Amino acid sequence: MMKIGFIGLGIMGKPMVKNLLKAGHEVLVYDIIAANVEDVVSAGAKGAASIAEVAKECKLIITMLPNGPQVKEVVLEGGVLENAASGTVVFDMSSIAPGVAQEICAACDKKGIKYLDAPVSGGEPKAIDGTLSVMVGGCENTFNQVREVIGAMAASVVHCGEIGAGSTTKLANQIIVALNISAVSEAFMLCQKAGVSPEKVFDAIKGGLAGSTVMNAKVPMILDGNFKPGFKIDLHIKDLANALETGHQVGSPLPFTAAAMEILQNLRAGGCGQNDHSAIAKYYEKLAGDEIRK
């Protein structure tokens, strides 16, 4: 067992820390919101007064932050680079643009700090039960050093390639999820308007070729009108913005991603930014003047 630093205790970070604690690790945590720190301290973690304290005491530092600017602030300016010993591993589980991951890695290399970009998929439910999918970019030897520790939070941990590969893989994941929810919403509204029970349709097709993890997770929420966030629309907008930016940089066309982004932006403008991304269904409900419900 080892002492792990963990910075960023939001919807995902808190249950991830609790799973590390269950696996027997000592975890030193930091977050700008005191209540988040108190939540995991009550589960057995130790609270740090600063990022610098985390960096000084831990040889493995996990970050779980909203986006690239926050990761850069914490790692490059907030105390990690200034205080971490050479050989420290920074395992960034945030979802950021690949180019930002490469920029942070280059700065870490100069200080002898090892950096891996390792975003996750699965949302809050899989963070809670410790079955996240983790996609990792960076030095494979460094990845192998921490793989067992990361397994306490995940069911799947895959090394995808050089630095930035983890972030690129996550962007692909987020494109597929957004388009899947959009397709499900469009199809189930068709059934609703045609007078065929969406619940029956779900039962009929979920085991066939159209079935997916996304469908199984999100259709029950749509049918119940339950849009409590496991993954917020605001965060999915952030991910698709990174995907579109990256697509432009590398010359990859993303026309359906752009369409999904417009749907999400419309929902945010209508006050749904803090809803779960299953609320993409609300866009179709507004257009059709009907609801997809049991």
- Which residues form the catalytic set? 170
Element (H or E) spanning 152, and its range?
Answer: none
φ/ψ region of 130 (left if φ > 0, alpha if ψ in -120 to 50, else beta) reads left
Q: Which residues pair with 248 in a beta bridge?
A: none
Residues 6+ apart with CB under 8 A from 292: 185, 188, 189, 192, 198, 222, 223, 281, 284, 285
Alpha helix (H) residue ranges in the chain? 13-22, 34-41, 51-57, 68-72, 80-83, 98-110, 123-129, 140-150, 165-193, 198-205, 213-224, 233-250, 255-269, 280-288
Q: CA-to-CA distance for 197 and 219, rounded, in angstroms?
A: 13
271: number of Cβ within 10 Å: 8
Q: What are phi and psi of 168, to 5 degrees?
A: -65, -40
Sequence letter at residue 32: I
Q: CA-to-CA distance for 101 and 72, rounded, in angstroms?
A: 9
Q: CA-to-CA distance for 174 and 179, rounded, in angstroms?
A: 8
Three-state secondary-structure class, residue 232: strand
